[in-house]
């Protein structure tokens, strides 16, 4: 899977100086690379039989929707505050410069459902932890977190309270 790193553009000093941004749009534009990621994740989760894929706004939707389709499961989007029209559950998480909030429709995860939470990138883990809180508020269970990229040096997996984490690619610096 390490060959997928060649399909990801590295953009220095974006969105601000000193940050190395991993641009996955180049991977998404490569049909072979995109298919390889989705097929790889589908193979990982086919025997775990999740009831639902819960995906984090916005790039998580890309992988989550494709994975839910292949697995034949439900798909639930988690959005930033104020973007969903129905009754929602909410969870907040800390940013380096404040607090933000994510929401999910209350009726999108049922009591006892087993879910995989997916996003493109695991950095500090705050957003992913908040999503587990949403799933828990609805009575669901996170069986694993899945990410395309994990920035190991930020230790985001430590914030996820011992829940299983799977990342396709790892970056150590």
Residues tagged active-site: 59, 96
Cβ-count burial of 113 within 10 angstroms (0-12 exposed, 13-18 middle, 19+ buried)? buried
Residue 26 CA to residue 40 CA, distance in Å, equals 18
Residue 47 CA to residue 71 CA, distance in Å, equals 10
Mutual orientation of helices 31-45 and 59-71 as an angle, nearest 10°? 60
Helix (H) or strand (E) holding 64: helix 59-71
User: Which SS3 state, helix, strand or coil, does residue 43 take?
Assistant: helix
Count of other CB atoms within 10 angstroms of residue 144: 17
Angle at 151 between CA 36 and CA 114, to 5 degrees: 65
Centroid of chain to Cα 64 = 8
């Amino acid at each position: 899977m390490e060959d997928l790193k060649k399909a990801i553009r590295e953009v220095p000093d974006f969105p601000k100086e000193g940050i190395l941004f991993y641009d996955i749009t180049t991977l998404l534009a490569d049909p072979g690379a995109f298919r390889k990621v989705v097929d790889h994740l589908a193979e990982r989760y086919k025997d775990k039989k999740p009831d639902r894929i819960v995906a984090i706004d916005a790039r998580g939707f890309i992988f989550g929707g494709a994975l839910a389709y292949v697995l034949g499961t439900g798909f639930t989007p988690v959005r930033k505050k104020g973007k969903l029209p129905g009754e929602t559950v909410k969870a907040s998480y800390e940013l380096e410069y404040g607090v933000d909030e994510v929401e999910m429709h209350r009726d999108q995860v049922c009591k006892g459902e087993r879910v995989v939470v997916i996003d493109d990138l695991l950095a500090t883990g705050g957003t992913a932890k908040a999503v587990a809180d949403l799933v828990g508020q609805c009575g669901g269970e996170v069986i694993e977190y899945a990410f395309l990229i994990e920035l190991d040096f930020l230790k985001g997996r430590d914030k996820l309270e011992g829940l299983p984490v799977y990342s396709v690619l790892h970056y150590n610096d």
